[in-house]
């Protein structure tokens, strides 16, 4: 069921995203690099998660699709910059050349910059989001993508290369570098749909659990992953980064991953009767690449 759901929602979202990308015209090569960076595959986990939230509350996708497009632009920009020689220095992403290899480093930097700013344009110019809600959506998205979120986590991750770091620092990296945008994929539709109370609290806790599980799985895939399946070369060992397997070993790391996954599943089952799709998603995150 989940595979079919993911495929259907990904196709719906990518059709909409492609329409948004056609707005990018000039300079042509910069626009081409932005479109390449956004439309070069991927599972679209974050926007699909936003669709899941809309489905759980029986809401129309039109209320969240501009925010989903904006979030995916920010996620894509982060990958473009993450792949640069100054950071992970990767050649492939999703089995294709990274943006700076396909174009050049300067173009990749500017493409990332432009995708970040375009994301906020998409939200502020949207006719599908109530003006009263735009400020909070922009506040959440800018907070989770900036120094208090993804960028802060990425910086600490880079600063931690070739160093012994504490478990608390590793948890900070995971919860911010990856976890914040996954949390945004839950919190943003809740904000757009005006969902409050216990259900919101539960879903935000769920988002934090799967966010950490996602990054732990990434650590494992960096060691055990198959390029043919992941489309990405190993970089953690190359850059001598501290990871869960490095601190705890493979078997203990898999146990920790399982604990986060089970907690996320139990939380949903105890508080929702119509959200089994989120239970399946937790399993999918912990089993990807297998």
What percentage of residues in the chain have a pLDDT greater than 70?
Answer: 94
Residue 236, pLDDT score: 53
pTM of the model: 0.89
Of the chain, the end-to-end C-alpha distance in Å amounts to 18
pLDDT of residue 238 exceeding 60, the answer is: no
8 A C-beta contact, residue 156 and residue 27: no
In the structure, what pLDDT confidence band is assigned to residue 88 with cuts at 50, 70 and 90? Answer: confident
Residue 290, pLDDT score: 60
For residue range 8-47, what is the model confidence (pLDDT) as tens digits?
999 999 999 999 999 999 999 999 999 999 998 788 999 9
For residue range 63-74, what is the model confidence (pLDDT) as tens digits?
999 999 999 999
pLDDT of residue 228 exceeding 60, the answer is: no
Ranking 23-37, 117-131, 172-186, 236-250 by mean pLDDT, the lowest is 236-250
pLDDT of residue 239 exceeding 60, the answer is: no
Euclidean distance between CA atoms 53 and 50, whole angstroms: 5
Residue 1, pLDDT score: 79
Euclidean distance between CA atoms 78 and 150, whole angstroms: 8
Residue 230, pLDDT score: 46
Q: What DSSP state is assigned to residue 61?
A: G
**Nearest Cα residue to 73 out of 27, 134, 120:** 120
Residue 237, pLDDT score: 55
pLDDT of residue 225 exceeding 80, the answer is: no
Q: What is the mean pLDDT of residues 189-207?
A: 94
Q: 2-287: which CATH number, 3.40.50.1010, 1.10.10.10, 1.10.275.10, 1.10.600.10?
A: 1.10.600.10
Euclidean distance between CA atoms 180 and 174, whole angstroms: 9
Q: Which residues on neighbouring strands pair with residue 92, listed in sequence order?
A: 97
Q: What DSSP state is assigned to residue 176?
A: I
């Amino acid at each position: 069921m989940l595979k079919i759901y993911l495929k259907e929602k990904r196709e719906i979202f990518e059709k909409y995203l492609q329409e948004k990308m056609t707005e990018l015209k000039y300079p042509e090569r910069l626009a081409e690099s932005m479109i390449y960076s956004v439309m070069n595959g991927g599972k679209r986990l974050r926007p699909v998660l936003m669709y899941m939230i809309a489905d759980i509350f029986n809401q129309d996708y039109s209320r969240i699709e501009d925010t989903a497009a904006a979030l995916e632009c920010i996620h894509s920009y982060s990958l473009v910059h993450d792949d640069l020689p100054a950071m992970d220095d990767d050649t492939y992403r999703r089995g294709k050349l990274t943006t700076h290899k396909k174009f050049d480093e300067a173009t990749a930097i500017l493409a990332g910059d432009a995708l970040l700013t375009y994301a906020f344009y998409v939200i502020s110019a949207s006719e599908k989001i109530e003006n009263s809600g735009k400020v909070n959506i922009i506040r959440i998205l800018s907070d989770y993508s900036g120094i208090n979120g993804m960028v802060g986590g990425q910086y600490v991750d880079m600063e931690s290369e070739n160093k012994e770091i504490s478990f608390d620092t590793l948890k900070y990296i995971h919860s911010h570098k990856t976890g914040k945008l996954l949390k945004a994929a839950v919190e943003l539709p809740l904000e757009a749909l005006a969902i409050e109370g216990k259900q919101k609290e539960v879903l935000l806790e769920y988002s934090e659990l799967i966010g950490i599980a996602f990054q732990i799985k990434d650590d494992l895939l960096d060691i055990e992953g198959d390029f043919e399946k992941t489309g990405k070369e190993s970089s953690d060992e190359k850059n001598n980064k501290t990871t869960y397997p490095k601190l705890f070993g493979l078997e203990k790391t898999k146990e920790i991953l399982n604990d986060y996954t089970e907690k996320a599943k139990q939380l949903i089952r105890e508080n929702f009767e119509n959200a089994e799709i989120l239970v399946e998603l937790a399993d999918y995150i912990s089993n990807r690449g297998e």
